[in-house]
Amino acid sequence: MFTEAESPVTSPTFDLLDSCGTFRVLVGVTGSVAALKVPLLVSQLLELPGNKTRVTTRETTQHYVKRLPLCCLWRQRSDPVLHIELRRWADLLVIAPLDANTLGKIASGICDNLLTCVVRAWDTSRPLLFCPAMNTAMWHHPITSRQVDILKEFGYVEIPCIAKKLVCGDQGKGAMAEVSTIVDVVKQYVQKAAESPQEGAGQVL
């Protein structure tokens, strides 16, 4: 699932490369209940001057967020491949929320949906931010810290989860970082790119 945040995307000939001159932020959304915060996150990202934001989701995200319009660019051999076009388009990828399942997939190199395919093809000279979100018991499982460390070894930047009362009723660490925190981090990249456009997004911060 893929949508442009500013307006619904319905055309199979939609040009992903039409926003030259702006800092392009791709938001990857996974199947965590924290996806409920995505509309607020996207609206605040769109308020940052000098950026353009688009969103890619997984099917499981639709449990928490109203169904988003599908943008299917690939119909025949000569058509562009969506995950490659998104990878080329974006200056920064922020995965918010990053659920336990997708964390494990990325750490293991699995690419079985649009988002994980974008990540697998990602240009590691460009920033990738990830915002873990999961149940406290899942967060404290030994495999989680190992997988987070793997993503950091790839050069990806963690925006750490926080402790609070979760939707399931548990109290503890595992909740996605506050929207304001995520926006502030993205803002640093946008501003740095604006100050040094010749360096490119992959060189900021």
71 noted as active-site residue: no
CA–CA dist 179, 72 (Å, integer): 29
DSSP 8-state class, residue 204: -
Task: Report in angstroms the alpha-carbon separations of 95 from 17, 21, 54.
Answer: 21, 23, 12
* C-beta atoms surrounding 51 within 10 Å: 22
CA–CA dist 115, 76 (Å, integer): 21
Catalytic one of 72, 111, 161, 168: 168
Active-site residue numbers?
168
